[in-house]
A = this chain, B = another copy of it.
C-alpha cells in the first residue's frame, strides 16, 4: 500500500513545501495536486518547487483534463517536470470538472479523455503524435513511460480506465464501492486482453484523526463534491440503472445546487443534504485505529494507493498522525 496526499492549492508555497517534505520523511510516496487554475494557483509550477525540495516523492495533477490546455502545451509541462525530477511525475486524468465549469464549459467526453491520455504519453515518451489537425514531437523528450491514472465513476469512464489507464482513481474510501468500481475497470481491461496484474487502484478521500463530531464537520464537503459526479451519472443513466449501486446514488436525492466557487471547501453552504452515514463511509474518520482498520479493508478490496485529500484543516497534524501511527502498519 502506497500512501499519498493531495493538495487543493490554497496553502501558501512555503507551507506546501514544508508539508511535502514532512510527508516524504514520513513515508508517503506521492503528492498530488488539484488542477483547477482559476480557483487555485497553477499546480505545475508549485510541483516544480516541491520537487526541488524533495528527493523521492512523486507528483502529479489529480486530476487534469483534456480541455483546459492545448495538448502539446500540457504534454510539454508533463515532460519537462519528468525531466526536471528524474521521472517523479505521473498524471491523474478526468473529463474536466471544476476547472472547465469555472470557465463556463462542460466536461469533455470519455473518448476525448482516452485520446488525450494516449497523446500525452506519446509526446512525453518522444513520439511524433498527431491530434486534431496538428502533430507534435518533442526533440528533447527522455523516453519516460509516464503512468496515467484515470478517474471514473460511470460505466463508460470505468471501462475506459480499465482499457486505457495505468490505474484507476476512485474518489471515496468505501471498500464496497471501491470494489464495485474497480472490478468494472479490471474486467474491461482483461476483456481487452491487457495484463491487469500491475494495475493501480487509488482510493482518494479526506480523513480526520480525532473526535467523530469534529471529523464529520471537517469532511462533509467531500460527499457533496462527489455528488456532482453522481448527479452527472444519474442524469445520464437514470436513478435505477442496474449499473449504478443504490448506496452511491441514494444520498443525492436531497441535493440542491452546488457552488463551484466553494469547491472542496469545508465551510461551503451547499452541504445540507449529506447524512452522517455517507460522510463516515466516503472518508476515514475517528481514532488512528479506525484508519488502520479501514485501510486494511481497502487493501483487501484491491486498493494499491490510499490518497489523503489534505484540505480539512490541521494538515501537519494529519500527516504526522499517519506517519507515526498508520503507515507503519503497512510496511
Contacts and interface: CB of A to CB of B under 8 A. Distances in A.
Contacts of A198: none
Contact of A17 (B12, B15, B21, B314): B21
A324 B320 contact: no
Given A41-B79, A48-B48, A102-B136, 4 more contacts: A18-B25, A41-B83, A45-B45, A49-B52
B80 A41 contact: yes
Contacts of A112: none
B46 A44 contact: no
8 contacts: A13-B83, A26-B316, A37-B76, A39-B139, A42-B73, A49-B84, A70-B103, A72-B103
A53 interface: yes
A330 to B, nearest CB: 18
A51 interface: yes
A140 B39 CA distance: 8
Chain A interface, DSSP helix/strand/loop, else mixed = helix
Contacts of A250: none
A37 B13 CA distance: 25
A204 B197 CA distance: 54
A140 B261 CA distance: 12
Contacts of A83: 13, 41
A229 interface: no
Contacts of A73: 37, 42, 68-69
Contacts of A300: none
Interface string A12-56: 111101110110111000000000011111101111110111000
A137 interface: yes
Contacts of A323: 316
A20 to B, nearest CB: 9
A77 interface: yes
Interface in A287-320: 314, 316-317, 319-320
